[in-house]
Amino acid sequence: MRFKLLMGLSSTAVMGLCLSTVYAGTVTYTVHSGDYLSSIASKYHTTVSNLKSLNGLKSDTIYPGQKLTVESSSSTSSSQVAAKTVSDVKSSSSSSSTYTVKSGDTLWDISQKYGVPLSSLEAWNHLTSSSILHVGQKLTIKGGSQTLASRGSSPIAGLSSTLGYEVAQYAEQFEGVPYAWGGTSPSSGFDCSGFVQYVYAHYGTLLPRTSYSQYGVGTSVDKSDLEPGDIVFFDTNGSGASHDGIYEGNGQFINAASKKVEVDDMTSSYWASHYVGARRP
């Protein structure tokens, strides 16, 4: 990995910050345009074969609007370790609130609403990836914010960027995936904006399809204030924000370039001269 999360948190613990999903009520997923069984399996920490078995599917073909039964696998030991680590770091926060669980809520939805790591939400409420939410249940939220764009400064260096680090680190696993014009998934390949859209969709943030439209989303960020997870934009053909990628830190960003998903240096003469700005979703 090119950076360390939360002042030296190990890669094993970082993986514990993954997206386990716990529902209040029936565990189902509605297929959206562009979804694949592999992407749904990755989101819910299960396998394609398990999804096919649960839903009686004989092929990988799915269609928008289809309801799928989802069964999340448990990775309790690593998630609990990561949850405890993040919880310990954030324990100095004096801000807290209470959320009442509604029908259909998931821990992931709640964590996104308040801008806090899922693992922290589990730790604050003594929950694990196998816990079941109940309508009316009260959940403690500590130091949350409403969106990624509202990440504020923190007395602990890097803490406010925890979600941004997770986004950037998740993006790294697709390094080497071939470039494909109009591509929006690992199986079909990625173009620049399709890659950014796919990575952020994993975290529940739905971005527009093109780089031009993505440039109008979120909050503008000065180059000197860039944090991992920010979307950086470049004018590569003289028509504005025609290319984008995800900032990783230390002047590097990951993007679907002309041949494949790769990490490039924003300070190089080419990228520095074509840089047009950055946004924080």
SS3 199: helix
Annotated active-site residue 243? The verdict is yes
Catalytic residue among 18, 126, 237, 255: 255
The type of residue at 39 is S
Where in 165-242 does DSSP place strands (E)?
184-185, 189-190, 219-220, 231-234
> Based on C-alpha coordinates, what's the Rg of the chain?
19
Annotated active-site residue 255? The verdict is yes
**Residue 232 contacts residue 266 (beta carbons within 8 Å):** yes
Kindly report the CA angle at 202 between 7 and 50, in degrees rounded to 5? 110
Catalytic residue among 18, 125, 192, 202: 192
Catalytic residue among 50, 126, 243, 274: 243
Instruction: Choose among 225, 217, 223, 201: nearest CA to 281.
Output: 217
Instruction: Choose among 29, 32, 33, 7: nearest CA to 19.
Output: 29
In angstroms, rounded to a whole number, what is the distance separating the alpha carbons of residues 10 and 82? 9
* Cβ neighbourhood burial of 210 (10 Å; 0-12, 13-18, 19+): middle
Q: Integer distance in angstroms from the first to the last C-alpha of the chain?
A: 23
Annotated active-site residue 192? The verdict is yes
Kind of pairing between the strands at 219-220 and 243-249: unpaired
Residues with active-site annotation: 192, 243, 255
